[in-house]
Amino acid sequence: MRRCLVAGNWKMHMTVAETESFIVRFLPLVGAPNAEVVLFPPFTSLDCAGRLLRETNVGLGAQDVYFESKGAYTGAVSPGMLVACGCRYVLVGHSERRHVFGDGNDVVRRKLDAAVVGGLDPILCVGETIAERRGGQTNTVLETQLEAGLGGLSEAALARVVIAYEPVWAIGTGETATPEQAQEASAWIREWVGRRHGRAAEKVRILYGGSVKLDNARSLLALPDVDGSLVGGASLDPDGFAAIAAAAEA
């Protein structure tokens, strides 16, 4: 049985004060969810969020990590620093990291490995651009990203990984994949895991991300191969995000 995971990626939003107000409002709304609910604030809010979320039903994750543990890497944040703030999860390979900051598949893999070694559970984000989809390249792109991110990973490490299918054309655009598109890609990803990693395919959680809102969350979360969602813009409102978490339980 795969437990549904609803993740809220705040991107570059929320000061420390705004983080505190969000969490104070959100916790009573979300109650004791059946689904796993995790917030991904910006680095500057992690410490505050970690303190407020300690011993609650809501988890904490970071939006990115560097693959070195310490040293002269200006602006970078290590896995150990994130764990010390109370993070369990970290996103790796989010499309904004890949396309805005130039994280290539090799860097994504180094981050994923460092996350696992450093005690974090990575959420590996994969997805095609609109040109790749129109060109019939979706599965090829997914395969390349999955092979680079997870190929040869040990069984123990893979057990820590969550995969997020996030079509680039659906992120922050208001255009959501149809349930058929989300199911087709998620099923394909699970088949890939089965081909490369055998029975891990039954256990690995696959999230859908890309303009998830309350009105489309229910149909996406009901899909057989979708085990949760990675929510960007709609996670910035505590009432709306709590409602999406409740939809996940239904």
Whether 94 is catalytic is yes
Number of residues that bind ligand PEP (CB under 6 A): 14
The rounded distance, in Å, linking the Cα atoms of 74 and 147 is 30
Q: Which is nearer to ligand PEP, 78 or 176 (CB)?
A: 176
- Give me the sign of the Cα torsion angle 28, 30, 34, 36: negative
Give me the least distance between CB of 72 and ligand PEP, in Å please.
30
Q: Determine, following the binding rule CB under 6 A, whether residue 163 of this chain makes contact with ligand PEP.
A: no
Q: Determine, following the binding rule CB under 6 A, whether residue 41 of this chain makes contact with ligand PEP.
A: no
Closest residue to ligand PEP, judged by C-beta, is 232
For 235, list phi and psi in degrees, rounded to 5.
Answer: -90, 0
Q: Determine, following the binding rule CB under 6 A, whether residue 61 of this chain makes contact with ligand PEP.
A: no
Q: Which is nearer to ligand PEP, 171 or 248 (CB)?
A: 171
Q: From the list 36, 64, 103, 166, which residue makes contact with ligand PEP (rule: CB under 6 A)?
A: 166
Q: How far is CA 134 from CA 1, 106, 175, in A?
A: 35, 26, 15
Q: Which two tokens stand for residue 20?
A: 């505190």
Interface region with ligand PEP, contact rule CB under 6 A, candidates 31-39, 104-112, 133-141, 224-232: 224-232
Give me the least distance between CB of 204 and ligand PEP, in Å please.
18
Q: For residue 136, count other CB atoms closer than 10 A to its CB.
A: 8
The rounded distance, in Å, linking the Cα atoms of 118 and 38 is 19
Beta bridge partner(s), residue 228: 5
Helices assigned H by DSSP within 100-199: 105-117, 130-134, 138-150, 155-158, 179-197
CA dihedral 230, 231, 237, 243 (to 10 degrees): -70
Q: From the list 49, 233, 245, 246, which residue makes contact with ligand PEP (rule: CB under 6 A)?
A: 233
Q: Determine, following the binding rule CB under 6 A, whether residue 128 of this chain makes contact with ligand PEP.
A: no
Q: Which two tokens stand for residue 189?
A: 């990803």
Interface region with ligand PEP, contact rule CB under 6 A, candidates 66-74, 104-112, 229-237, 242-250: 229-237
What is the SS3 assignment for 135? coil
Whether 99 is catalytic is no
Interface region with ligand PEP, contact rule CB under 6 A, candidates 18-26, 68-76, 105-113, 204-212: 204-212
Contact 157, 193 (CB under 8 A): no
> From the candidates 94, 128, 143, 197, which is the catalytic residue?
94
Residues annotated catalytic, as ranges: 94, 166
What residues line the site for ligand PEP (CB under 6 A)? 9, 11, 166, 171-172, 209-212, 230-234
